[in-house]
Amino acid sequence: MYRGRLKRDLDIWVGKGLIGQGVADALLQEHDSRRSSFSIGGVLMILAAVLISASILLLIAANWEAIPRLVKVGGIVALIWVFHLLAALAFGRGADRLGGALLVLGAACFGGAIALIGQLYHLSGDAFDAMLVWFAMTAVSAAAFRSGALTAMAGILSFAAFAALLEQFNADWHMLYGWWPVFSGLVIGLLSLWTGADRARHFVYWLLLAWFVWIYTLSIEVETATAYAAAGTIAFLVATLPMSPVAKFLRRFEPAFAFYALVLALLGLGLLHAEWTDGEALALLGIATIALALAALALEGRDNGAVRFLAYAAFAGEVLYLSYVTIDSMLGTSAFFLLAGLVVAVLAGVVVKLEKVFARRAVEART
């Protein structure tokens, strides 16, 4: 998506004579040469590895009886070594995407080996223990090969382990296991820095958000939701206010932080909506939600499209929700639809004005 916008901008700048065609081609070529740049071939290789991995896991799950146990175990262990050695050779020849696909196959075979050995020899244990070992070995392999593909796979496995944890303990807190999303998120964050897989850090934010929701379900207290709203708002302001000492750093190196901080704040406000449904509490909650949406648009709306979209959605959703909960005091369903139409029209006008403000600021910044 970014490449498409970059190419369109370069074409516009070339057409206006701001830069030459050679400079535009060089800039686009530099973007494509980056390690993290999108490649259809790389995506197809990873998809092929996923499909082959699925076939291997299904074959193992079938527990084909005609093959002796030692042959089964030896075969799956051999596949693990073969795929990792082939990946090492691919990386040595500069075929990084092929190497990443082979590592995914090797990691999938390792997971299959865990299931196969447990199945054949009736080893005691549970799904979470198996997922924990699988995650640990995948993370070690990702660090050893500096593989972004394996870092992403470790992120997926962290969610699978979290799901297994919730199922095993009936979604109750269990000692140190309850901190699993934090621990695995820390591992994935460090791996993403080491391997250069910046997009894998989204798994960290998703894990933490899922963890926050789970913690809330354990108590369902207003204080917890209020803490989420306050913490998310503070984090968002720290990441976006011009006078913040870390705002410039986060905008450059971790632009997703502001978006997920806003998600956390809106999550807390959304949970509070389930508790405060009428009266002054609902009015204050509505004002806080709308104010946060407008502040997000003012502080980060121009430069962060994800924040802008989320703020628009929060603003529109809050206004429509407040209109809905007060419908009993109006003239009925037809009045509600009329009001909804007027609200959307007003919202459209606000959006148009904000877009003009953003465009004017962009022109001022360039000049």
**pLDDT (tens digit, 9 = 90+) per residue, 268-313?**
999 998 888 777 788 888 888 888 988 888 888 777 888 888 998 8
- What's residue 267's pLDDT? 94
User: DSSP assignment of 193-246, as one string?
Assistant: HHHT-GGGHHHHHHHHHHHHHHHHHHH--HHHHHHHHHHHHHHHHHHH-TT-TT
User: DSSP assignment of 97-159, as one string?
Assistant: HHHHHHHHHHHHHHHHHHHHHHHHHT----HHHHHHHHHHHHHHHHHHHT-HHHHHHHHHHHH
HSE value, Cβ hemisphere, 13 Å, CA-based, for 81:
6
For 180-219, how does the pLDDT look when each residue is reduced to its tens digit (9 = 90+)?
Answer: 999 999 999 999 999 888 888 999 999 999 999 999 998 8
- Residue type at 357 in one-letter notation: V
Residues whose CB is less than 8 angstroms from the CB of residue 351 and which lie 6 or more positions away in sequence, other chains included: 312
- What's residue 45's pLDDT? 64
Burial 341-351 (b: 16+ CB within 10 A, else e): eeeeeeeeeeb
250/240 Cα distance (integer angstroms):
8
130/329 Cα distance (integer angstroms):
57
238/261 Cα distance (integer angstroms):
10
Residues whose CB is less than 8 angstroms from the CB of residue 80 and which lie 6 or more positions away in sequence, other chains included: 106, 109, 110, 113
Question: Taking every pair of C-alpha atoms in the chain, what is the biggest distance, in angstroms?
Answer: 77
Stretches in the chain below the pLDDT threshold 50 = 1, 37-38
User: Are 41 and 97 contacting, i.e. CB atoms less than 8 angstroms apart?
Assistant: yes
User: Are 182 and 201 contacting, i.e. CB atoms less than 8 angstroms apart?
Assistant: no
212/44 Cα distance (integer angstroms):
35
- What's residue 257's pLDDT? 92
- What's residue 253's pLDDT? 82
User: Are 148 and 200 contacting, i.e. CB atoms less than 8 angstroms apart?
Assistant: yes
Collapsing DSSP states into helix, strand and coil, what is residue 28? Answer: helix
- What's residue 227's pLDDT? 94
- Residue type at 50 in one-letter notation: V
User: Are 261 and 254 contacting, i.e. CB atoms less than 8 angstroms apart?
Assistant: no
- What's residue 304's pLDDT? 81
- Residue type at 109 in one-letter notation: C
Q: Which long-range contacts (CB under 8 A, 24 or more apart) does 211-215 make?
A: 211/162, 211/181, 211/182, 212/264, 212/267, 213/267, 214/166, 214/171
What Å distances lie between residue 27 and 22, 41, 90, 362, CA to CA?
Answer: 9, 21, 28, 21
Q: Hey, what are 130's tokens?
A: 């198996």
- Residue type at 151 in one-letter notation: T
290/299 Cα distance (integer angstroms):
14
User: Are 260 and 307 contacting, i.e. CB atoms less than 8 angstroms apart?
Assistant: no
Q: Hey, what are 316's tokens?
A: 């529109």
The residue length of the chain stands at 367
Q: Hey, what are 286's tokens?
A: 């509505």
